[in-house]
Structure 1
Amino acid sequence: MSQTILKIHSDDNVWVALQDIAAGTSLTCDGETVTAIQKIAAKHKVAGRTLPKDTPVIMYGVLVGIANEDIAAGDLITTKNIRHASGQFAVQEERRTQWAAPDVTPWKNRSFMGYHRADGRVGTGNYWVIIPLVFCENRNVQLLHEVLTKELGYKKYNAYETMLQQLLQGFKENGGTADPAAAADKNTVTLNTRAFPNVDGIKLLTHTLGCGGTKQDARTLCGLLAGYITHPNVAGATVLSLGCQNAQIDMLKEEIENRVPGFDRTVIYLEQQKIGSEKELMSQALQQTFEGLAKANTMQRQPAPLSKLCIGMECGGSDGFSGISANPAVGRVSDMLVALGGSVILSEFPELCGVEQELSDRCVNTDLAARYLQLMRDYASRAEAVGSGFDSNPSAGNIRDGLITDAIKSAGAAKKGGSSPVTDVIDYPGWVQHPGLALLCTPGSDVESTTAEVGAGANVVLFTTGLGTPTGNPVTPVIKLSTNSILADKMKDIIDLDTGTIINGEESINEVANRILELVINTASGHYTAKAQLLEQDDFIPWKRGVSL
C-alpha cells in the first residue's frame, strides 16, 4: 500500500486506517502526527487530535458525531466514545449548481446495443414479466413461470443439483455419501434450446401486498408494478388478478397510462374470479403469454447513444472503505454520464443524513430543494414515531467494519451521486422524467431500494459493497463493485469489478471510473452478464409505507 492512514478532508479531525495499524505506530497526515494508542483495524477511524467531551467529530468535512467522552489523539473511534450527530439544514436561496463537468470526449461517440422502445427509451435487456396483483396469485404465477421457463429453454441446471444426485446415488448404493467435489467446481449451465432467443428471460415479481393494506398501499404497489411493466428492459407482461383485492386492474392501467401515455407493449390481464377454474385461468395465461413471447422475440438490439442509459446508484454491506474507493468511483461515473446527457438515480434517503444541505444546495431550483428537505424530514419523523430514527441505520456489519454512526455511513454513501446538479427529486414510486441526477426517496434497505430504482427506470444498477451481498434484480443487471480487494478475491462469484485498487494505490478514482463505465457499456449491450444475473438473484421487494388494516 502507498500509505497507512488517510485524512479525507482538510477539516477532518478523524482519519481512516487503510491497513491494520499496531499500537505505538506513529501516524502522520497533513503535517499532524499522532501515535496509535491501541491497535487500529483497517477501515476504522483514529482521532487525529485530542477531542474533549462534546467536541464535534468531523469527517468528509461534515459533522458525523459528538464525542461522548474525552478522546485522546491516536485513540480508536468506537460506538462507545462517539454518538451520531448531523448538521442542520434549510433551503438556501443561493444555488450551488456550478460544477466541474468531467471531460467525456473519449466517450461522446460511444454507443451500446439496446432494445429501442416506442416511448423513446432504450432497454439493456428484453424480458417478459409475470406479475400477481395480489399475493393470493403468487402460487399461480409461480406455476406459470415454472412451466414456461422449463419448456421454453430458460431453466438453468447447476452444480448443486449434480452434487445432490451424487449424494443420493451414494446413499442408495452403500448407505454412505458420495464425494461431491467433482461437481462442486462446475458452473451453472443454461440450456441452449431457448425457443425465443431474443427474449432474455421470463421473470416473476411475487410479493406480499395488494389486499389487506390501505388504499394508499394498493395505489403505491400499482405504481411500482407499472414502473416495471413500462420499463425499457421489459417487452411485455402477464398480470394475474384474483378480483376482490384493493389493487385492481383498472388502478394498474391508470398508473401505466400516467407513466407512458398510449403504452403499446403487450400486457395480458387475467382475473381468476371472472374466469373461474384454475385450469381455465392457466390455459388462457399460457396461450396468450406464448403469443406475447413470440411477438417480443421479433425485437433486436440496435445501437443507442450513452445518453439513453439510466443508472441506479446503490450500496449494501458497506464498510469503512466504501466512501473512499467504490462510492467516489461510482460518483465519477455519475458525473460522466450526466455530462453525456444520461440519467442517474441516487436513493436510500436514510443514508443521506448529514449531507442534506449539500444536496439541497445542488438542486437546480429552490422548489426542488424544499421538496427534498421535506421528504427527508417526513421520513425521519415517521421513523421517530415508531421509536427509531436514522441513527439506527448502520447494521452490525457496518459498525464492525468501521461505519460507527449513520452520518459517517451517509457521508460516504452520498459520494455515489458525484458533484453534478440535482435535476429532479422523486417520491416513491415515481419515475425518472429528466436527464441528470435525480434523488429518489427510498429506504436504505438494499433490495427495497434497488427494486424502487428499477421501478423508476434504471436500466443498469451499480451496487457497491464492502462486506459482500448477492443482491440482484429480475429485469435490470446489477453490477457489483467491491470496495476492497480482499472481498473481490474471497467472493469472486458475486463481484464484477474490484475498486480496492484505489485503496492499494494501484489506480486512481478516474482510472477505476473509466473501467466501470466500460463495463456498463458491455453489460448494457449484452456482451457481459453480471454475476447477479448468472446466479439468478432476482430480488424484488416493494417498500410498504402504510399500515395494515
Structure 2
Amino acid sequence: MATRSHSSSTATTTTDKIASDGIPQATLRVHPRDNVRVALKDLPAGSTIEDNNHVLQLVEAVRHKHKFALVDLEEGDTVIMYGVTVGRASRPIRAGEMIRTDNLEHSTDSSATVQRQQDWQAPDVSAFQGLTFDGYHRPDGQVGTANIWLVVPLVFCENRNIEVLRQCVADALGDDPYRDYKRMARAMLNGNSPHDEGSADSSDQAPPFPNVDGVRFLTHTLGCGGTDDDAQALCQLLAGYITHPNVAGATVLSLGCQKAQIAMLKQAVAKRDPQGLRPVHYLEQQATASEDALIREALNTIFDGLKEANRLTRTPAPLSKLRIGVECGGSDGFSGLSANPVVGATIDRLVAMGGSGILSEFPELCGVEHELLARCTDDSIAKRFTELMEAYQRHAASVGAAFSMNPSPGNIRDGLITDAMKSAGAAKKGGDSPVVDVLDYTEPATRSGLSLLCTPGNDVESTTALVGSGANLVIFTTGLGTPTGNPIAPVVKVASNSELAQRMADIIDFDTGAIIRGEATIDELADELLRLCIESASGRYATRAVSLAQYDFIPWKRGVSL
C-alpha cells in the first residue's frame, strides 16, 4: 500500500490559520501563552510577522521548523512554548531573533501547581462503532495482531546459534527477507548490473504455514557479565515477549553457566502465564551432547511449533483489544505540531472505545510532568510517576548524565533546542485521556486506558520496552526519518512533514504534513490513522518496517541511556 497522503484535503488545521488570499501563514503560535512562534518555511531577515495584531520584523533569517522570539527577552527570562516552560534565555534575545543553543538553556517549571483533571472530553467515535479487527485470539483472552514463533537467547553466547537457526529456517521456508540483496551482491561480484539476476522469486508455491506471520529470532548483548538486576530485567523483558499476544510460542537457547538462568526466565514467564498456556521449549547447550544435537532439537521445536500455531486463524475482535504503544524518533521541529498531536488524537479515540495506549520515554516527558500528574486518576498513580521520574533522574546523574542531554544533534538542527522543548511536543503522542497506570520498565500493562511506561528516549530500547509491556501495535513518529521496527509487533511510521514522506517513502506509512500546510485537521488525520492501524492489526496492511524485515530489539541496560 502506498504512503498515505492528504494533499487533496481542503479543511483547515486546528492550530494554523489560512490567510485571506488562501495561502497558509508562514508561522505558527502553538499556544496563547507562548512567547515564541514557529517558522513553517524558511524566512529571510526583515520578514514581517503579524502576531495577535502586533507586527514585528525578523532581525535575522529563521530556518523552517525553528522558533523566534515575539518579545525582547532578558537573560534568565522564561521561554514558553505549548503553554509550558521550555527554557530560559542564557543571554538577551531580541524580538524577531531565532532561538538557538547559544541563547537558550534547558529549564522547566517543576514547581507548577498540579490541578487534577476533572472531566475528560472524549472524542466522537461514532464512526468506529461496531468496527473490529481480525486478530489471533489466545487462550488467556488476549488478542494478537500477528502470529509469531519466537526464538530467544538467554545470553549473548548463543547469538551465533540463533543466527544459524535463522538462516536454516529462512532457507527451509523460502522466506529469506534479504534474498534480493543477496542476488544483487552476486551480480555485482560478477561485474553485472545489480538488476541482471532479476528480482524476487516468481515461485507460485503457497507458504507452508499460511496462518503464521513468521519466525522471529532475537539477539542481544546481555545475560552475563552484568549485575543481578541486569539479569532479572532481561528475563522479565524476554518473558514479556514470550507471553505476548502476538506470540504463539517460543524456543529458548541457554548456554548454562550465565547469570540469566533458565529458572529465572521460567519464573518470569509463569508470573505472566500462570496456567502455562503458551508452549515454551528451553534448550541448554552445556547439557547437550553437541552443537549438532542442539541445532537439531531447536529446529524440531520450531517446526512443531509452527504446525501448532498454523491451526489458529484470524477472527474478528473488538477494538478494545488493541493496545498501542507510541514512540518518536528522529524528531524535528514539526513533530510536536503535526505527527505527535495526530497520534495523541488517535490514542484518545482508542481509549474512548475501551482500548489502551502506552506512552513511554521518561526523559522526553521532562517539563510536562505537572500536566501528566493532573491527568492521573488517583494519588497513588501520580505518586508512582513522580517517584519513577525522580529515581531515573538520580540514576542518570550518578553516571554523569542528565535529561537536558537528551536532544540529539539532528533534533537541535531541526529546531528542538532543549529537552523541555522536545518533551513538550513529544508528550502530545499521549493525547488528553486520563492516565490509568504508571509502569516501571518490563512491567505488563493490564488496565484499559492510557498508561505511562518508564523507558529511555533511545528509539529502539523504548520500542522494545513498549512491546515487552504488551503493546500489540506501535505508532512511531519521525520528522527526520528512522527505520525502527520490532520483531513481533507491527510498527506504523508517521512522518511529520510531506518532504520526508516522499523522500523516504520506503519507510513511511502515513504522512501528516497536510497539518503544516493547513490542508487537513488533526481530527481528520487521526480518523485516517486509526483506520490504518485497524488494517495493520488485521494483517491486511503490511507496515514498511515489516516489509523491510526491520526487526530491532535492544534491551535497556538501566541508568545508561537517555
TM-score bracket, shorter-length normalisation: over 0.9
1:274 Cα offset (Å): 1.5
2:321–2:355 Cα contact (<8 Å) kept: yes
Give the equivalent residue in structure 1 for 2:122: 101
Q: CA deviation at 1:191?
A: 8.1
Quote how far apart the aligned CAs of 1:142 are.
1.4
Structure 1, 472-481 or 151-160: larger mean CA deviation: 151-160
Label 1:51 to 1:429 Cα distance change in 2 as closer, same or farther (>3 A): same
Specify the alignment match of 1:285 in structure 2.
Answer: 298
Question: Residue 462 of structure 1: SS of its match in structure 2?
Answer: strand
TM-score (norm 2): 0.93
Distance of aligned partners of 1:422 and 1:188 in 2 relative to their CA distance in 1, 3 Å threshold = farther
Check the 8 A contact 2:357/2:451 in 1, yes or no: yes
Does the C-alpha gap of structure 1 residues 181 and 283 become closer, same or farther in structure 2, counting only changes over 3 Å?
Answer: closer
1:441 and 2:462 aligned: no
136-145 vs 471-480, which moves further: 136-145
Checking the alignment, whether the CA contact within 8 Å between 2:364 and 2:457 is kept in structure 1 is yes
Whether the aligned pair in 2 keeps the contact of 1:362 and 1:421 (CA below 8 Å) is: yes
Aligned to 2:17: none
1:63 and 2:76 are equivalent in the alignment: no
Note if 1:137 corresponds to 2:158: yes
Q: Tell whether 2:136 aligns with 1:115.
A: yes
Of 486, 506, 524, which aligns to 1:493? 506
Identity of matched residues, %: 56
Give the count of matched residue pairs: 538
2:396–2:559 contact (8 Å) kept in structure 1? no
Which amino acid in 2 is paired with 1:180? P
Q: Is the 8 A contact 1:154 1:191 kept in 2?
A: no
Partner of 2:110: 88
Partner of 1:300: 313
- Residue matched to 1:173: none
Q: What's the secondary structure of 1:313's corresponding residue? A: strand
Q: Match for 1:529: what amino acid?
A: A
- The alpha-carbon deviation at position 97 of structure 1 amounts to 4.3
The equivalent residue for 1:175 is none
Which amino acid in the other structure matches residue 499 of structure 2? I
Structure-2 separation of matches of 1:532 and 1:191: 24
Amino acid at match of 1:155: D
Matched to 1:46, the amino acid is F
Partner of residue 25, structure 1: 47
**Could you say if the C-alpha distance between residues 181 and 142 of structure 1 is closer, same or farther in structure 2, counting changes exceeding 3 Å?**
closer
Runs (5+) with no aligned partner, structure 1? 171-177
Structure 2 distance, partners of 1:91, 1:46, is 28
Secondary structure of the residue that 1:24 maps to in structure 2? coil
Cα distance, 1:32 vs structure 2: 2.5
Report the Cα distance in structure 2 between the residues aligned to 1:339 and 1:21, rounded to whole angstroms. Answer: 41
* 1:31-50 alpha-carbon deviations (Å, 9 max, x no partner): 23211111111100010111
Could you give the per-residue CA deviations for residues 215-240 of structure 1, whole angstroms, max 9, x where no partner exists?
A: 11111100000000000000110001
Unaligned stretches of 5+ in structure 2? 1-22
Q: CA 1:391–1:183 in structure 2 vs 1: closer, same or farther (change >3 Å)?
A: farther
Q: 1:180 aligns with which of 194, 204, 214?
A: 194
Runs of 4+ residues over 4 Å off in structure 1: 89-92, 181-184, 186-193
CA 1:435–1:191: 2 relative to 1, 3 Å: farther
Q: CA deviation at 1:190?
A: 9.2
Letter in structure 2 aligned against 1:458: A
**Aligned-residue RMSD, C-alpha:** 1.7
1:153–1:59: structure 2 CA closer, same or farther, 3 Å change rule?
Answer: same
Match of 1:540 in 2: 553
Match of 1:383 in 2: 396
Q: In 2, are the aligned partners of 1:160 and 1:183 still within 8 Å (CA)?
A: no
Moved more, 465-474 or 244-253: 244-253
Query: For each residue in 1:119-164, what CA deviation from the matched residue of structure 2 results, as whole angstroms up to 9, or x when unmatched?
Result: 1110000001100011111111111121112102321355433332
Cα pair 1:91 1:366 within 8 Å, conserved: no
Inter-partner Cα distance in structure 2 for 1:443 and 1:312: 14
- 1:499-522 Cα offsets, whole Å, 9 max, x none, are 011101111001110110010000
What is the identity, as a one-letter code, of the residue corresponding to 1:144?
L
Residue of 65, 69, 73 corresponding to 1:47: 69
TM-score by length of 1: 0.95
Whether the 8 Å CA contact 2:392–2:559 is kept in 1: the answer is: no
Give the match's secondary structure for 2:166: helix
